Amino acid sequence: MRRRTRAFTLIELLVVIVLLGILVSVAVLGIGGSSTSRELRDEARRLAALIGVISDEAVLDSREYGLLISGEGYRVLRYDEAAARWRETDRREAHELPEWMRLELTLDGAPLQLLAPVKREDDRAGLSRDGARARRNEPRLEPQLLILSSGELSPFSLRLSERKPGGGTWEIASDGFRLPRAEPLEGGR
């Protein structure tokens, strides 16, 4: 007696492949959303996490830190007690946002207009002439958001949103005592 083995035909295999392709595309569309909304969400979460890390560093190092926020992005500053001024940290570069993203900062309920730092020559003279000359040419940096060694923060609300009408919006906020969290607003995703 001879047994017949049954195999799949080429048409059956093609039908299964097409069905799997349709299921995968539906799953990707359902999970994804637009890439700008994902980038906006990721940027909001990244900034909230950065503030949390800096807050921990401020407490552990007993140093005062600040966040300078401009229309194009943000950067971390630390207070240099010897020079009595704010300086950029060595480990973190200024972070620039994509052109389609907008930042709106509110401190204690009052919205701030975000401007780039202005160069001024009102620095105190240092001990060395070369150092004083170099400091005079540096822009005077002053952060809007303070992260203190006591664990406190400036009470703030920061909105990251798309510039296009109807785009997503995320808010990062803190009352000054709790670490901020990134949350979508009603109009956002």
Query: Looking at residue 78, which CATH number applies to its domain?
Result: 3.55.40.10
Query: Is residue 44 situated within a structural domain?
Result: no
Number of domains in the chain: 1
Query: Is residue 50 situated within a structural domain?
Result: no
In this structure, which long-range contacts are made by residues 111-117, counting pairs with CB atoms below 8 Å and at least 24 apart in sequence? Answer: 112/144, 114/69, 114/70, 114/71, 115/70, 115/71, 116/70, 116/71, 116/72, 117/68, 117/70, 117/141, 117/142
Query: Is residue 6 situated within a structural domain?
Result: no
Which range, of 5-9, 61-65, 84-88, averages the lowest pLDDT? 5-9
Q: Three-state SS for 142? A: coil
pLDDT digits (tens, 9 = 90+) for 94-148: 888 888 888 888 887 666 555 555 545 554 444 444 444 445 556 678 888 999 9
Query: Is residue 32 situated within a structural domain?
Result: no
Which range, of 24-33, 35-44, 114-123, 139-148, averages the lowest pLDDT? 114-123
Q: At 12, phi and psi to the nearest 5? A: -60, -40
What was the pLDDT predicted at 127? 41
Domain that holds residue 87: 61-189
Q: Return the structure tokens found at 7.
A: 């195999």
Query: Is residue 185 situated within a structural domain?
Result: yes
User: Do residues 132 and 125 touch, judged by C-beta distance below 8 A?
Assistant: yes
Burial 141-154 (b: 16+ CB within 10 A, else e): eebbbbbbbeeebb
Query: Is residue 36 situated within a structural domain?
Result: no
Task: Tally the residues of the chain.
Answer: 189
Return the H-helix or E-strand segment holding 14: helix 10-32
DSSP 126: -
Q: Return the structure tokens found at 166.
A: 């109807």
> What is the Cα–Cα distance from 156 to 10, expressed in whole angstroms?
63
